[in-house]
Amino acid sequence: MTKQMHRAKDVVRILEQAGYEAVIVGGAVRDALIGRDFNDVDVATEALPLQVKALFDKTIDVGIEHGTVLVLQEGVGIEVTTYRTESTYTDHRRPDTVHFVRDLREDLQRRDFTMNALAMRANGEIVDYYGGEADLQARIIRAVGEPRARFEEDALRMLRAVRFVAQLGFTIEQNTAQAIEQQASMITHIAIERIQAELEKLFVGPFVAEGIKAIRETTLSEHLVGTFDEREWQHVQLRDANVGWAYFAYGSQMDAATVARTYRLANKQKQFIAHVLTLAHQDDWTTMDYFTYDIDVLYAAQAIRTWQHQRVVTTAHIDAQKAALPIQTKDELAINGQDVMQWRDEKRGPWIKEALAAIVEAVVTGNVQNDTQRIKDWFNREWNN
Ligand code: ATP
Ligand code: MG
């Protein structure tokens, strides 16, 4: 059991001892039951936020108006949320109001899928009002209650469904899938940042091709920018969401600036994607490419090779090429700008940078050894006349 789970159970016990019902809820219960790794463990309780705060030394108000208090238990943060219902979703996203309730069943009813509507008591007992355990067994993603109504309340749930496909390899139950198909266009009501976060989880899921297929089959793809073709995601297992974005941009024939603008990616992500795409579009990589690009960029471009060749292409030769470089970074050069200035009696200026770049290239490509005297000779011959 993880440290988080131990601390969450402590929190549940403390609440129980004070006379409040409390349970572990959400993804951690689901993941624990199927033996999947998890980090965050959420607690739900009938106690009101102020009652929760009164019981623990260290708490942080992270969302007290929604009933959530972060309890710090031996250095681990556990989110404790008062049982609540949500009502009147006028914009197909967040609820307008939340109501605290005393009944766990009501709290579980507001949750998106049966597998996410399970609760666990401190003694390990599972509370299952909506058939979540059976669906977990059958590997089915099923909306709690009437699917259409649930997606109408919150359209993000549709994307959560396909993201869980990619993470768990489960299938979406037929009525649930049909409801997504009928209401797919409502995904456009959702803030792009939330779409971005779901897609990032999908990209790195072990069943990403199935997730992409679900996006296409439910027609969510028609309301999202880019290409969602599962054939292109076969054989890939991405560890990093940024590699996913580069991969997605490549398959969608979008340049880095467009994908970054559309999905509001950070500048660093945009740069990474741009580098990966440059390499992916080159047939061959030169020694200078192996020197210039970070190993992560090379790996990511290699992942796109997998796509281009429809088979797994290993990265071993990238490591070998990198390792074989005479220098790994500019800092390893035997000379610096000062030396170059002395060798050539000229004022400081942009020429120094150019000269250094030429020297780096000569050393990296093996034209000259990384040795002060040899570089000086080369420089005097090639540059100083
Ligand atoms: P993970 O943490 O692996 O992304 P999770 O299921 O824990 O998955 P969270 O976003 O952490 O997802 O949410 C915790 C729980 O809150 C969910 O298991 C679910 O019960 C509920 N939940 C989250 N988002 C929604 C939503 N949009 N609609 C209904 N219930 C939701
Ligand atoms: Mg979670």
- The token pair that represents 43 in the structure block: 């607690």
pLDDT at 385 over 80: no
CB 290 within 8 A of CB 269: no
CB 89 within 8 A of CB 95: yes
Which residue's alpha carbon is at the smallest distance from atom 11 of ligand 1?
A: 27
Which residue's alpha carbon is at the smallest distance from atom 17 of ligand 1?
A: 26
Confidence of residue 335 (pLDDT cuts 50, 70, 90): very high
Residue-wise pLDDT for 343-380, tens only, equals 988 888 999 999 999 999 999 999 999 999 999 999 99
Helix axes of 241-251 and 267-280: crossing angle, nearest 10 degrees: 50
Q: Which ligand is nearest to the CA of 29?
A: 1
CB 226 within 8 A of CB 252: yes
Residue-wise pLDDT for 88-135, tens only, equals 667 777 676 789 999 999 999 999 999 999 999 999 999 999 999 999
Give how far Cα 219 sits from Cα of 156, 222, 264, 330, 341, Å.
Answer: 14, 5, 22, 49, 63
Which residue's alpha carbon is at the smallest distance from atom 22 of ligand 1?
A: 111
Which residue's alpha carbon is at the smallest distance from atom 3 of ligand 1?
A: 27
**Three-state secondary structure call for residue 73:** strand
In the prediction, which pLDDT does 2 show?
Answer: 86
Confidence of residue 305 (pLDDT cuts 50, 70, 90): confident
Find out whether the beta carbon of 84 lies less than 6 Å from any atom of ligand 1.
no
Residue 82 — left, alpha, or beta (φ > 0 → left; ψ -120 to 50 → alpha)? beta
Residue 16 phi/psi, 5° resolution?
A: -60, -45
Beta strands in 266-364 (DSSP E): none
Residue 141 phi/psi, 5° resolution?
A: -100, 110
Residue 134 — left, alpha, or beta (φ > 0 → left; ψ -120 to 50 → alpha)? alpha
Find out whether the beta carbon of 49 lies less than 6 Å from any atom of ligand 1.
no
What pTM was estimated for this model as a whole?
Answer: 0.89
CA of 24 to the centre of ligand 2 (A): 11
> Which contacts of 118-123 are long-range, i.e. CB under 8 A and separated by 24 or more positions?
118/25, 118/29, 118/30, 118/33, 119/23, 119/24, 119/25, 119/29, 119/44, 120/23, 120/24, 120/25, 120/29, 120/32, 121/12, 121/23, 121/24, 122/9, 122/12, 122/13, 122/16, 122/22
Question: CATH assignment of 139-237, given 1.10.3720.10, 3.40.50.2300, 1.20.1730.10, 1.10.110.30?
Answer: 1.10.110.30
Question: CATH assignment of 330-383, given 3.90.1150.10, 1.10.10.10, 1.20.1250.20, 1.10.246.80?
Answer: 1.10.246.80
CA of 119 to the centre of ligand 2 (A): 13
Confidence of residue 311 (pLDDT cuts 50, 70, 90): low
Q: Which ligand is nearest to the CA of 40?
A: 2
Which residue's alpha carbon is at the smallest distance from atom 14 of ligand 1?
A: 26
Taking residues 1-5, what's their average pLDDT? 87
In the prediction, which pLDDT does 303 show?
Answer: 85
Give how far Cα 330 sits from Cα of 79, 285, 292, 344, 380, Å.
Answer: 47, 19, 10, 20, 20
Q: Which ligand is nearest to the CA of 27?
A: 1
CA of 80 to the centre of ligand 1 (A): 14
Strand partners, 63: 68
Strand partners, 70: 60, 79
pLDDT at 233 over 80: yes
3-state secondary structure 76-89: EEEEEEECEEEECC
- Residue of 112, 115, 200 best suited for mutating to test ligand 1, as the one with most atoms within 8 Å of CB: 112
Q: What are the residue boundaries of the structural domains of the chain, listed by start?
A: 1-131, 139-237, 240-245+253-325, 330-383
Find out whether the beta carbon of 205 lies less than 6 Å from any atom of ligand 1.
no
In the prediction, which pLDDT does 92 show?
Answer: 75
CA of 137 to the centre of ligand 1 (A): 19
Taking residues 68-74, what's their average pLDDT? 95
Kindly tell me the sign of the dihedral angle through the C-alpha atoms of 86, 91, 93, 96.
negative
Nearest to 211 by CA among 237, 191, 188: 237
Strand partners, 79: 42, 70
Please report, as a single letter, which amino acid is at residue 243.
Answer: V
Taking residues 190-209, what's their average pLDDT? 97
CB 265 within 8 A of CB 232: no
Confidence of residue 39 (pLDDT cuts 50, 70, 90): confident
**To the nearest whole number, what is the mean pLDDT of the chain?**
94
Residue-wise pLDDT for 44-58, tens only, equals 999 999 999 999 999
Q: Which fold has domain 1-131?
A: Beta Polymerase; domain 2 (3.30.460)
Nearest to 43 by CA among 29, 33, 57: 29
Which residue's alpha carbon is at the smallest distance from atom 1 of ligand 1?
A: 27
Which residue's alpha carbon is at the smallest distance from atom 16 of ligand 1?
A: 26
CB 112 within 8 A of CB 49: no
Give how far Cα 153 sits from Cα of 47, 92, 109, Å.
Answer: 26, 5, 13
Give how far Cα 178 sits from Cα of 140, 141, 151, 218, 240, Å.
Answer: 14, 12, 11, 7, 31
- Residue of 93, 111, 164, 201 best suited for mutating to test ligand 1, as the one with most atoms within 8 Å of CB: 111
CA of 40 to the centre of ligand 2 (A): 5
Which residue's alpha carbon is at the smallest distance from atom 9 of ligand 1?
A: 27
In the prediction, which pLDDT does 98 show?
Answer: 83
CA of 166 to the centre of ligand 2 (A): 16
CA of 28 to the centre of ligand 2 (A): 7
Find out whether the beta carbon of 79 lies less than 6 Å from any atom of ligand 1.
no
